[in-house]
Structure 1
């Protein structure tokens, strides 16, 4: 889902700066290694604004290719160090996942999906209260940041049990006429 850590006009960070260098060395690289994920701190400097990439997501979503598009965008930025703030780059990536390049480019140039993207951000910031990436929302639990597989499984299992209990209570009340 769309979420911008530094939406325009907030300045984006520079990968050569101490903050990103330290954060990646201490947190991102060890986590990626633990999960077997190939990732690099992209040298695109300053980091690109992502609103156009997310507007492209809205286009891809309408075409039933949102997951493929998102995967390709992440791969392009965090493995290939492509500048995903540029329409030419985004269009190339969209074509790679089977989207119509001319229609995609036109949608970005005209900002056709700007409002849809803004609504998605409003939902993330104001309604869902997202403050970190990733954030997992499981039932009424909000889990910002990274969690172990075991923790996520426990929360999911707990939610399943809660839903089963609610369902059974509803069935019993339907039969017994609970007040």
Structure 2
């Protein structure tokens, strides 16, 4: 689900600033190394607003390519340091996935999916009370932050057991 830590028009962070440098050095890079994920703190400064990329996700989802789209956007930003706040960059990336570039660009320029994205954010902020990424909602349990596979499996098993008790 879409989630923006600093939605437009909030000011975004600068990668050269102390906060991001320290956070990535102390938390993100060690965690990425632990999980074998190649990732870099993108030098795009300031960090782009992501509302257009998320609106583009709604288009891709309609076309049956939502998961591919998300993977490509994350790779473009966190591995290739591309500016995913740029309509030109987003359109090129959508085209790489086989999405119709003209339709996609028009959807972003007209803000066709603005309300759908806004509704998804409202759900995350208000209804689900999400305040961090990643957040997983498994049954009645909300899990914020990174957890091991074993922890997640245990939470799933616990939730399934609770559900089965209610059914019995």
TM-score of the pair, normalised by structure 1: 0.92
Q: How does 1:1-179 map to 2 (within 5 A)?
A: 1-167=1-167, 169=168
Distance 1:163 1:8 in 2: 39
Shift of 1:98: 1.3
Distance 1:30 1:164 in 2: 38
Shift of 1:166: 1.9
Distance 1:160 1:26 in 2: 35
Distance 1:34 1:160 in 2: 29
Shift of 1:163: 1.7
Let me know the Cα RMSD of the aligned residues.
0.6
Where does the alignment leave 5 or more consecutive residues of structure 2 unmatched? none
Shift of 1:148: 1.4
Where does the alignment leave 5 or more consecutive residues of structure 1 unmatched? 170-179
- Which deviations, in whole Å up to 9, do the C-alpha atoms of 1:11-67 show, x marking residues without a partner? 000000000000000000000000000000000000000000000000001101000
SS of residue matched to 2:19: helix
TM-score of the pair, normalised by structure 2: 0.98
- Select the structure of larger CA radius of gyration: 1
SS of residue matched to 2:137: strand
Distance 2:73 2:98 in 1: 13
Shift of 1:9: 1.4
Shift of 1:149: 1.4
Distance 1:90 1:75 in 2: 12
